[in-house]
């Protein structure tokens, strides 16, 4: 699953925005290997008066997704968003920035119920707790 929000300057046409959404969704689907119904894209338009000069010359994409995405997949999203910006907004669209945030637990819900996206996560948490306990015991020994 991925939820992506593109922040762009106000003033683009409906057609440009729809193309940006379509191409960004395609990039998320390719990069993360998710289906169309598990990739969500929206646009937030920013007025020039609410941006500094540097921000006025860029588009940014914030992607929130489940844990475990590969660097290669993330790079496909970066490349895909740049391509989407060029296609939809023109070659002189400015700078494109992508920030991808993975959530590291299975606390994600859909259609009214909590869904475990990574069945091995409970085992991972158990190992993390064991490691923390060992580290705490070692730290206590060093204090003595």
Q: What CATH number did the domain enclosing 46 receive?
A: 3.30.429.10
The structure's pTM equals: 0.74
- Is residue 111, in this structure, part of any structural domain at all? no
Whose tokens are 């705490």? That residue is 136
Residue 43 near residue 6 (C-beta atoms within 8 A)? yes
Show pLDDT as tens, one digit a residue, over the chain (144 residues).
Answer: 899 999 999 999 999 999 999 999 999 999 999 888 889 999 999 999 999 999 999 999 999 998 888 999 999 999 999 999 999 999 999 999 999 998 876 666 666 666 555 566 566 667 767 877 887 887 888 887
- Is residue 141, in this structure, part of any structural domain at all? no
Question: Got the DSSP string for 83-124?
Answer: HHHHHHH-TT--EEEEEEEEE-SS-EEETTEEE-S-TTHHHH
pLDDT at residue 122, rounded to an integer = 65
- Is residue 117, in this structure, part of any structural domain at all? no
- Counting the structural domains of the chain, the total is 1
- Is residue 126, in this structure, part of any structural domain at all? no
Extract the tokens encoding 130: 């064991």
- Is residue 31, in this structure, part of any structural domain at all? yes
The three-state DSSP-derived secondary structure of 4-47 is: EEEEEECCCCHHHHHHHHHHHHHHHHHHHCCCHHHEEEEEEEEC
Reported as a single tens digit per residue, the pLDDT across 41-58 is 999 999 999 999 999 999
Host domain of residue 47: 2-104
């Amino acid at each position: 699953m991925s939820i992506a929000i593109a922040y762009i300057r106000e003033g683009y046409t409906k057609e440009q925005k729809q193309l940006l959404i379509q191409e960004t969704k395609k990039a998320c689907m390719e990069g993360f290997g998710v289906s169309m119904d598990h990739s969500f894209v929206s646009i937030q338009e920013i007025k020039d008066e609410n941006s500094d000069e540097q921000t006025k010359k860029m588009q940014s994409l914030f992607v929130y997704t489940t844990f475990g995405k590969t660097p290669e997949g993330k790079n496909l999203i970066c490349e895909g968003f740049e391509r989407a910006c060029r296609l939809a907004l023109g070659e002189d669209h400015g700078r494109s920035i992508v920030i991808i945030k993975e959530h590291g637990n299975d606390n994600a819900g859909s259609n009214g119920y909590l869904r475990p996206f990574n069945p091995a996560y409970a085992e991972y948490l158990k190992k993390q707790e064991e490691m923390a306990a060992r580290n705490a015991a070692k730290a206590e020994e060093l204090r003595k």
